[in-house]
Amino acid sequence: MGSAVSFRGQSGKAWSFQRAAADAPWARSPGVAIFAIPEACGWRVFRVIELSGKPHDIQPIWALAEAERYGASAVFVALEFDAPVRKQIVADLEAGFRPIVSSGVRTGQVIRLAA
């Protein structure tokens, strides 16, 4: 994994993430991933997802493929083994950043972009 980066959600708490290569095995561990698009003054958060860490969970890979289609070139990962804490991180970051695609943690709905 790469350098440490902090993202602050709506609560103001700084969540620590590590930048990971898109082709690294980052989806194999439980935690939270952020897919981001580079901008002039930082990152535009495309999507925040929970990583289950289950060996056959393909949702993170599909989410990365979708993010890459819309220009996301960075993956940031925070390892977290406690599922309720993962959900809390995702909800806090989504509330603070209003990503382009929502995971639906707060509303129970997923917003999809047209291809």
The per-residue DSSP string of 34-70 comes to EEEEEETTEEEEEEEEEE---TT--HHHHHHHHHHHT
pLDDT digits (tens, 9 = 90+) for 43-98: 889 999 999 999 888 999 999 999 999 999 999 999 999 999 999 999 999 998 87
Rounded CA-CA distance 69/72 in Å is 7
Q: Is the pLDDT of residue 113 over 70?
A: no
pTM (2 d.p.): 0.83
Rounded CA-CA distance 5/75 in Å is 11
Residue 99: the pLDDT is: 72
What's the chain's average pLDDT? 86
Token pair in block for residue 112: 């999809």
Q: Is the pLDDT of residue 15 over 90?
A: yes
Q: Is the pLDDT of residue 7 over 80?
A: yes
Residue 3: the pLDDT is: 80
Q: Is the pLDDT of residue 14 over 60?
A: yes
CB 35 within 8 A of CB 19: no
Residue 106: the pLDDT is: 43
CB 50 within 8 A of CB 90: yes
Average pLDDT over residues 33-44: 90
Strands 14-20 and 74-79: antiparallel
